Structure 1
Amino acid sequence: MSKRSANDTQDGQPFQKTQASGNRREVPVVDERGEFEDAWEDEIESDEEITNANAEEDEDGMDIDEVLPAIEESDEVPQAPLVYIPGTHTLGKDEILEPDDSVYIMRHSMNVNWPCLSFDILRDNLGDERQRFPATAYIVAGTQADEMSKNEVIVYKMSSLHRTQKDGDDSDSDNEDDDDDEDLDEDAILEYRSIPHAGGVNRVRAQPPASSSLPPVSQPYHVATWAETGKVHIWDVRPLIESLDTPGYSLDKSRTHLPVFTINSHGKAEGFAMDWAASGPSSLRLLTGDIHSKIYLTTSTPSGFNALSQPFTSHTSSVEDIQWSPSEPTVFASCSADRSIQIWDVRTKGRKSVAGIVTAHDSDVNVISWNRLTTYLLVSGGDEGAIKTWDLRNVKKSGSGVLDPVPVASFTWHKAPITSIEWHPSEDSIFAAAGADDQVTLWDLAVEQDDDETGMGETFAGESQVPPQLLFVHQGQQDIKEVHWHPQIPGSVISTAADGFNIFKTISV
């Protein structure tokens, strides 16, 4: 949550290294050429001018030191910034983390009545590539209430998402009228509509529309919920969205309070894994995986949904996450507590995986994300806190006896289980991750170690342990469960935790 920036010297030459994080702020003291800037913008005299001045002094008999005392040079080294490195530093008894808003373009926190383990972003008709503020976002979430009967599926509308006011932004302005109204630091508005849900919601996934915007009004907007009761419900949340945007809109409870379809294939087995295929409204496909290692496919027809009875059965433990291939409509990937990642083709007889990584992590593989731009890349997060990126071109057929491939990248920054991971929707080298260590981290695989900086020593305590691919660390939430990029507001990230939602946009992405 702060910008990591430090100044040091190497053989007497100043240098500056910057990287984004989230806890403190500091002002650079060197210019882009590596020279110290004159804060007073004084002109520097040449040696010739100084010589002439000395000569004039001898003629006039005046010693300049008698008029202006000599300026003593300071041997003090600029203090390194106070940056909190998770896993390296420990907060003292009376210490708290303070976010550095200079590294945020936008940052809002929103409290809710009940924690939401899972949420998904709903597409809207406000346009793609939105850069203007204030912004608006829609999400759907499911609650974990203290009693089963109190749980709900909720559609939230986040509006008045203003640009974050920077400290001192107005100090250099000669005209107060020049202030941009978009920079006002105001509270966001959180509105919602809800429907009752039997039992806590383990995971929520919204139907990906055929186009980049909200499905037409004539079509339902489907959302699936994995309930702790072992059932998967499919809902039409379009009326909830319409009621948020239309004054005086009256919800028809007979339409909204009952699911469109309920999948009973899993019996009483609870589950978390779920993903919709990106397809048209008349050919929806939904995969669901349970704690008993079974995966079921549900499809849609013009007359309704159809849950297929034969499961996919190559995992030996709980199925934790599922992702459809972004390029092959019949292929999907899954990960499991059996430490493996499996690749499947729904056309295969026997419902067995066609390829896989037998030991992808040292512990449970909790989450995966399939890159939608570079479709041979898949990133995974494990219970041991590791993040790994895989080249699926190196994954061999199941049962081939070939050794598991080596990940193309591996990081062990997080100190607790990875709870969520997702590739950036328009940048194929960037992904976001969330962990049970209360961190949301942003990564860029395109960043490489700068050999020119090696051997220069640490600029602040613990920086040598920071991977160069780590762009940003967002903190401040407790028990973070899920993170998603907003596909229509570039660079914006939404996360859910036990204490509510955060939505932010950083200067790093």
Structure 2
Amino acid sequence: MAKRTATDSANTADESQKFPRASGSGIPRDTHTNGEMGEFEDAFEDEIESDEDVVDADGDNMDDMNDGMDVDEVLPAIEESDEQPAAPETYIHGTHKLGPGEILEPDDSVYIMRHSLKVTWPCLSFDILRDNLGDERQKLPATAYLATGTQADTAQGNELLVYKMSSLHRTQKDGDSDSDADDDDDDDGDHLDEDPVLEYRSVPHHGGINRVRAQPLTSLGPVSQPYHVATWADTGKVHIWDVRPLIESLDVPGYSLDKDRVHKPVFTVNAHGRAEGFALDWATSSHSSTRLLTGDTYGKIFLTTSTPTGFNTFAQPFLSHTSSVEDIQWSPSEAFVFASCSADRTIQIWDVRAKGRKSIAGVDAAHDSDVNVISWNKINSYLLLSGGDDGGLKTWDLRNVKKREDGGPASVPLASFNWHQGPITSVEWHPTEDSIFAAAGDDDQVTMWDLGVEQDDEEMGTNTSSQDVPPQLLFVHQGQQHIKEVHWHAQIPGAVVSTAYDGFNIFKTISV
């Protein structure tokens, strides 16, 4: 959540030019220096006051000038007021507008943890990597691993990166004291003043990276087991990488990276020709084979599967979309079923065993314009979430979706929200709560929703803002520019990571 405060224009300009100091980094390819590929912001960097004596313009020491002088004889006593200063107003996007000299400041009282990471080149897609630190981790400070990729100014300047973010401590709130921190349930009081630490490894990647997806694993398994990450390049190629050595090099002191191995992809999907793409998804690891779906801007979807000797891409594409395939999701419960969405405004449901490589069901005119993203509920597998260029968020009951041969009226969503003021760029269901999801939009908002919340009649009658703020809207996170993706951390309950043009945010709120 954000609050707005008044400031003069000079301070506003200064705030926009702040760049934090590096709090730690790895050394990718033995060439980068600290902070080159990213650094955490230091929220308290500018709050340290100097202990030097105050000197006036003539060079005289002010303490010497005040010797023998009673301050009360010169300055009248300042009367204390019992009135509390007005609390900053909560900023609601689309309702409020910033006035001259106003800026947004985060309200840290609603965050359990909040950290920002600035990057050299935009990383517009990422995925959270599974680690061996355990599930259901509640205690702070936290550690998280990410796989991401850059969009540099030259094709040769891009990289696939593995980030290790550690010492992610609890947010220090106004009024916190050492004793309060020591009594905190998270037992992280000793870490409040520590900087978060960023370490990373990278490999060269030809072409900007449109989408990054990590193979879903229930555990990392033995060191010999690969950990595959796929990247959709703007060159029209999809590369599969084994990032396991990069993770090991971050965790094991003295680990020696085999550059000949890690700097080359395990496999490259060339079936899309020169067509660019964004749609990318792995089947869950519980299935018998490793399978990857890729969709391009020409409406074609290809399937790549693992074989005893490596990977193989089927030559025949899946064809039902008439425009760019924007997103793909495997079913969490049906091994051979997947969903896709497109700029043709439709959502299609497919079965890889079906003849003709055509969709078996779908939703026509799911949104008023391009359908950008979808997410399949992992708990209630009949629920599908979609977000469009129209700013709308919709939940669909797949049990009521029309089959291809059916006629009749169009499918109707279970729920629909139009809070965002720009195209939806990312949606994702909560990994363990079947009614909660997160969304991101090009209006610089990350929102969290709970479909299980309903507003009763009495509340509707007394809450004048009920029409402005849907009761299902739990939380709004702001402060990033052009947000592109948001993901829940499956092993740290309630933790969320988002990426935008200006870097990453990782946070945990009191609302979820």
TM over 0.5: yes
Kindly report which structure 2 residues correspond to 1:87-486, keeping only aligned pairs within 5 A, or say none: 87-170=94-177, 181-182=188-189, 184-209=192-217, 211=218, 213-279=219-285, 283-458=289-464, 464-486=467-489
C-alpha distance in 1 between matches for 2:466 and 2:456: 14
Note if contact 2:287-2:335 (Cα within 8 Å) is conserved in structure 1: no
Counterpart amino acid of residue 216 in structure 2: P
Residue 480 (structure 2) pairs with residue 508 (structure 1)? no
Aligned counterpart, 1:34: none
Aligned counterpart, 1:10: none
Q: Deviations over 1:369-416 (max 9, x none)?
A: 000001100000000100000000000101422322111100000000
Q: Which moved more, 1:183-192 or 1:81-90?
A: 183-192
Aligned counterpart, 1:42: none
Aligned counterpart, 1:7: none
- Tell me the CA shift for residue 176 of structure 1: 8.7
Q: Which moved more, 1:308-317 or 1:391-400?
A: 391-400
CA RMSD of aligned residues (A): 2.1
Q: Which moved more, 1:92-101 or 1:280-289?
A: 280-289
C-alpha distance in 2 between matches for 1:208 and 1:176: 36
SS at match of 2:89: coil
Counterpart amino acid of residue 479 in structure 2: G
SS at match of 1:239: helix
- Tell me the CA shift for residue 92 of structure 1: 1.4
- Tell me the CA shift for residue 463 of structure 1: 5.7
Aligned counterpart, 2:91: 84
Note if contact 1:215-1:221 (Cα within 8 Å) is conserved in structure 2: no
Note if contact 1:141-1:204 (Cα within 8 Å) is conserved in structure 2: yes
Counterpart amino acid of residue 480 in structure 1: I
Note if contact 1:335-1:341 (Cα within 8 Å) is conserved in structure 2: yes
SS at match of 1:490: coil
**Mind listing any 5+ residue stretches in structure 2 that lack a counterpart?**
5-82
C-alpha distance in 1 between matches for 2:181 and 2:280: 52
How many corresponding residue pairs? Answer: 432
C-alpha distance in 2 between matches for 1:370 and 1:271: 20
TM-score (norm 2): 0.81
- Tell me the CA shift for residue 88 of structure 1: 1.3
Note if contact 1:164-1:185 (Cα within 8 Å) is conserved in structure 2: no
- Tell me the CA shift for residue 450 of structure 1: 2.4
Q: Deviations over 1:261-315 (max 9, x none)?
A: 0000000000000000003597100000000000000000111100000000000
C-alpha distance in 2 between matches for 1:484 and 1:176: 29
Aligned counterpart, 2:500: 497
TM-score (norm 1): 0.82
SS at match of 2:357: coil
% same residue? 76
C-alpha distance in 2 between matches for 1:96 and 1:490: 31
C-alpha distance in 1 between matches for 2:439 and 2:412: 21
SS at match of 2:356: coil
Counterpart amino acid of residue 392 in structure 2: A
CA radius of gyration, larger in: 1
Note if contact 2:3-2:88 (Cα within 8 Å) is conserved in structure 1: no
Runs (4+) of structure 1 exceeding 3 A deviation are 78-81, 175-183
**Mind listing any 5+ residue stretches in structure 1 that lack a counterpart?**
5-75
